Structure 1
Amino acid sequence: MSNFDEQLARHIAELNKEKQPERDLFRGIELGIEAQKDSEANTNNQGVTPKQWMAIAASVCLVTVLWFSAPFAFKLDDPRSDNYALIDAMSTQQQQQVSSLLASYQSTPALTEDWQQQLKELDDAADAIKAALKEDPDNSALIKMLHHVYQQQIALIERVHAPKWQQI
């Protein structure tokens, strides 16, 4: 054994085996026993307090009400969610904006001949994205793609009828 181990063993042997409390502990023990008796008096045979029974009953009532009102709260006959209604509104707004742009540029000659074909291709792309959104109306990537296609449509119409070099 090393010198350190011998010194440690000697110090351990010199320690007092009984530790005396710094204050009287009986009062704390007595209060703990009384609190235990009070809580046992408020519980029934299963160990559940009346407050806990009330909480259990309230949660059962809530679940029951939600269970029976769920068919009325959610439109089960409407396969579209609220997000798809938003997509429909976005599509309607886009159609109105394209129509008004085309009406305002009706007297302005187009700079290219195939711009209507390009606009139709963008319409087809928007229709494909909307078909995918019917399956997954919460897909934010598809919503962003649809918004981008709509922006491209407006930019195409403006570029063909009012290029930047004419606006100077």
Structure 2
Amino acid sequence: MSDFDQKLTQHISGLSKEKQPERDLWRGVELGIASAQDTPSSDDASSSTVTSRQWMAIAASVCVVTVLWFAAPFAFNADESRSDGYALIDAMSMQQQQQVNSLLASYQSTPALTQDWQEQLKELDDAADVIKAALKDDPDNSALIKMLHHVYQQQIALIERVHAPKWQQI
């Protein structure tokens, strides 16, 4: 241990273990108590009544919010919440139908390369209907939504392949 460390240790051990206040604290406590006693007692009663009313209002508000929180799922019809969640699927289906109709209209003058493409398109439509039926029960199922999107992509790819194969494109 160095000389500095020894001197530091001696000074630390020489310090008192308790910190003493620099002034008399009881005088401040005395003045605080005296000022509280000097106020009129009628103000004390009204301020405590307001405080208890405020607590009662807060407690009542918490009770109302709690009851509404637990009762809200039962108050609303489950079909309405399903229809709200299913709105994305309906919009997606409408957009797909518009895209398919516009593709078919644009390829109307172009002859199809195969004859059974409409049967394949019908099979994809049936698959989309099955997925949409499953989504009615669980509209937030991301796996089913991805499957529906994939079926819709296959429909568009089928129409484009049948009417404009890659070997005809430049």
- Tell me, yes or no, if structure 1 residue 24 matches structure 2 residue 27: no
Q: Percent identity?
A: 67
Displacement of 1:25 in angstroms is 2.4
Displacement of 1:79 in angstroms is 6.9
Equivalents in 1 of 2:28, 2:83: separation in Å? 61
Question: What is the TM-score normalised by the length of structure 1?
Answer: 0.66
Counterpart in the other structure of 1:53: 56
- Tell me, yes or no, if structure 1 residue 95 matches structure 2 residue 130: no
Counterpart in the other structure of 1:140: 142
Query: Residues 50-74 of structure 1, C-alpha deviation per residue, up to 9 Å, x if partnerless?
Result: 32222223344556678888777x3
Match of 2:151 among 149, 152, 163: 149
Instruction: For residue 110 of structure 2, give the secondary structure of its aligned residue in structure 1.
Output: coil
**Residues 75, 18 of structure 1: alpha-carbon distance in 2 compared, 3 angstrom cutoff:** closer
**Residues 55, 31 of structure 1: alpha-carbon distance in 2 compared, 3 angstrom cutoff:** farther
Equivalents in 1 of 2:159, 2:112: separation in Å? 9
**Residues 153, 77 of structure 1: alpha-carbon distance in 2 compared, 3 angstrom cutoff:** closer
Equivalents in 1 of 2:31, 2:113: separation in Å? 94
Equivalents in 2 of 1:57, 1:148: separation in Å? 52
Question: What is the TM-score normalised by the length of structure 2?
Answer: 0.65
- How many aligned residue pairs are there? 157
**Residues 76, 19 of structure 1: alpha-carbon distance in 2 compared, 3 angstrom cutoff:** closer
Counterpart in the other structure of 1:129: 131
Q: How does 1:70-89 map to 2 (within 5 A)?
A: 74-76=76-78, 78=80, 80-89=82-91
**Residues 129, 77 of structure 1: alpha-carbon distance in 2 compared, 3 angstrom cutoff:** closer
Displacement of 1:118 in angstroms is 2.6
The alignment yields a C-alpha RMSD, in angstroms, of 4.0
Which residues of structure 1 form unaligned runs of 5+?
Answer: 1-7
